[in-house]
Chain A
Amino acid sequence: MRIQINGARLIDPASKMDQQADIFIDDGKIVAIGDTPRDFVADQMIDGNGLIAAPGLVDISASLREPGYGRKGSIASETRAAAAGGVTSLCCTPHTKPILDTPAVVDLILDKARDEGSCKVFPLGAFSQGLAGEQLAELFTLRKAGCVAFSNGLAPFKSNRVLRRALEYAATFELTVIFHPQDPDLAEGGIAHEGSVATFRGLAGIPETAETVALSRDLLLVEQSGVRAHFSQITTARGARLIVKAQARGLPVTADVAMYQLILTEEALMDFSSFYHVLPPLRSLADREGLRDAVRSGVISAIASHHQPHEADAKLDPFAATEPGISSIELLLPLAMSLVEEGVFDLPTALQRLTTGPADALELKAGRLSVGAAADIVLFDPKGQTVVGESWFSKGRNCPFMGHVLPGAVRYTLLNGRVTHKNV
């Protein structure tokens, strides 16, 4: 199948390209950029005038909810939602049922993704068996089955000693470990950022130190073990500064932040709306500014959706009794555009943090537009608009942006040259 995309403005962060150029696709791969290759006759023409062509977005943290949580989502529904958000590659989290700690579950997910999915799915394996933080999962075997990195989510390890050993084991095989720094004891019982809003509304607080204490410990153990480390879902300005210091003394650690964390703050909790109940929590304005600085400077090189869809009941209770999580993967591109429009980032930076930034952090072959690469492309209209909820693919409607009008609209998403999302 030969496809030609005409007249789009091509932005590829990896090669720093930003110019108008035609794209030629054959058999799922980009065969030329710019001049028409000899003997190329297109079967399908896509009019890219007025649109921007960028590498398909790479989302390194999304809960697909399959296997095990059918009411909340499925590989089919959530990858479809991802495609609507401009995503072509994503990493699914190990919080499935059964947990992603055996090759059988990896196979199940990869098969489903191939048959029913609208994205490339790169599984994140559980770092410990059952995510219980006691025994190592069979990391090498899981790697062979297809896991690209390992995470224990917010679940703690039983002791620092076990954690250290686990990191050394992972380091032996050059496996990447993803940390979600949160000290369980400091965070215990907390559901919101320990600040003015939580105090005013009587919500149990999670102090900043829950993140920074765990982060400090993790960084020192990373240094000691030499493991490849990625820090996920940083929420505090202080936490970002700790990562700056670690990178400055030569630790090759990377970090990501949730897209919503760059937009929302604890103020959102004033009305007790459970749509703003997330873990780790939305923090102060100062924290948001610190995170934005860190993303601008590249200290935090990746932005992820941290997509967590839920059925309606999970959010229909007084705040503390609801399940945490926001469903937002299908807004990844428009939310990025809202930050660009606000002047927080320029467009190439925003795109880099959503493509090569995350891809390089986890060493994924994705996030680039170049001759020979897979035709994973997002075509979007920077002057268009997305009315949130007008069409919705995720099973989870737990999104606080419902009804908002966001700047930018994804027009086409292509995965290996196949159109996975179209909105013209």
Chain B
Amino acid sequence: MTPLLPKCPLQLNDEGRLRHFLSLDGLPRAMLTEILDTADSFLEVGARAVKKVPLMRGMTVCNVFFENSTRTRTTFELAAKRLSADVITLNVSTSSTSKGETLTDTLRTLEAMAADMFVVRHAESGAAHFIAEHVSPNVAIINGGDGRHSHPTQGMLDMLAIRRHKGDFTQLKVAIVGDILHSRVARSNMLALKTLGCPDIRVIAPKTLLPVGLEQYGVNVYTDVNKGLKDVDVIIMLRLQRERMQGGLLPSEGEFYRLYGLSEQRLALAHPEAIVLHPGPINRGVEIDSLVADSPRSVILNQVTYGIAVRMAVLSMTMSGQNEQRQLDAEKQESL
């Protein structure tokens, strides 16, 4: 059978630079580092009186959220506004698709609004890829989270937090605790940490919350949190959703807390200067103790600021890649 032509990586332009931001797999270390460096610059912008730069002035960013999220949506809005872009937010979950409109029809309508960029969030894995494949390639697609597959900006903001507070990835032990099975944050974090050279990435969960095939990520799997947290430099606690109690995954939030919750005693097992991350919103007393969440070792609130900076970096880098591709296409046309 003749094989079909291999697909060019959907999210990269002809020069290998970002034109969409869909997932972290396949992105080289240098690019992830560039995102972090660019985000650092944008952190400085956020510290000024006028928190704006004119990079995306005159451009329109459309937040297309098929799945609700106030937190992610507002940070993307803020990031776009700080780049001087115009922002529209569409909560599609409450409008057209519930009227029976197909996703592709919704996309056609959105395309007609001539936005330069869509930030999409959807309950199905692969939705961001689908949208990038079915919308004009000149519209940049940023994945704000698709099903349990990928949340690349969250992955990168966690990496920024780790780099700013703990430094060199190649010297760190990082633990990710909680519902790995259903978590797009966990998948993005594992990929980012591996690419950035972290030598000891640990996932900690009961068997019911561990997916098969974790070896492909190059991580160490633990079911005993006390063993898993020993001497780690970074602890990423994942959110446990209420629905997990149904269907036999877990007996109760209480038992989960007793076995895996991050209490002060558990934190003491880690390195004395270990930091604690959480994608939010946190369930106090379920995955994390209040005292720990509010302690100086927790960088949970900083993650919000890092989130805005990382999203500014991703938005501007992607816009830059789109512009570059437009130039390349124009040059190709001329030479014909």
Interface residues of A (CB under 8 A from B): 194-203, 205, 263, 271-272, 313, 316-321, 338, 401, 403-406
Contact = CB atoms under 8 A, between A and B. Distances in A.
B7 interface: yes
Given A202-B146, A316-B134, 7 more contacts: A196-B213, A199-B211, A202-B149, A318-B126, A318-B130, A319-B126, A321-B103
Interface in B273-330: none
Contacts of A198: 211, 213
18 contacts: A194-B212, A195-B212, A195-B213, A199-B211, A199-B212, A200-B216, A201-B125, A202-B146, A202-B147, A272-B126, A316-B103, A317-B103, A317-B104, A318-B126, A320-B124, A320-B126, A338-B1, A405-B1
Contact of B1 (A200, A318, A321, A404): A404
Contacts of B102: 313, 316-317
B75 interface: no
Contacts of A203: 125-126, 149
Contact of B147 (A199, A320, A401, A404): A320
Contacts of B184: 202
B70 interface: no
B1 A202 contact: no
Given A200-B213, A318-B103, A320-B147, A404 B125 contact: no
B43 to A, nearest CB: 30
Nearest to B125: A202
Interface residues of B, number: 28
Nearest to A200: B216
B105 to A, nearest CB: 10
B166 interface: no
Given A202-B125, A202-B184, A404-B2, A317 B216 contact: no
A318 B2 contact: no
Contacts of B129: 271-272, 318
Given A272-B126, A318-B127, A320-B124, A406 B149 contact: no
Contacts of B7: 271
Contacts of B125: 201-203, 272, 318-320
B36 to A, nearest CB: 24
Contacts of B148: 202
Contacts of A263: 1
A316 B104 contact: yes
B212 A318 contact: no
Nearest to B66: A318
B4 interface: yes
A319 B148 CA distance: 13
Given A318-B122, A320-B125, A320-B147, A405 B2 contact: yes
B213 A199 contact: yes
A316 B214 CA distance: 30
Interface in B129-160: 129-130, 134, 146-150
Nearest to A317: B103
Contacts of A313: 102
A317 B1 contact: no
B64 to A, nearest CB: 13
A321 B216 CA distance: 26
Interface string B214-242: 10100000000000000000000000000
B124 A196 contact: no
Contact of B4 (A321, A338, A403): A403
A195 B2 CA distance: 27
Interface string B105-130: 00000000000000000101111011
A201 B129 CA distance: 11
B187 interface: yes
A383 to B, nearest CB: 16
B1 A406 contact: yes
A335 to B, nearest CB: 9
Contacts of A196: 212-213, 216
Nearest to B129: A272
A200 B219 CA distance: 13
A155 B2 CA distance: 36
Contacts of A205: 211-212
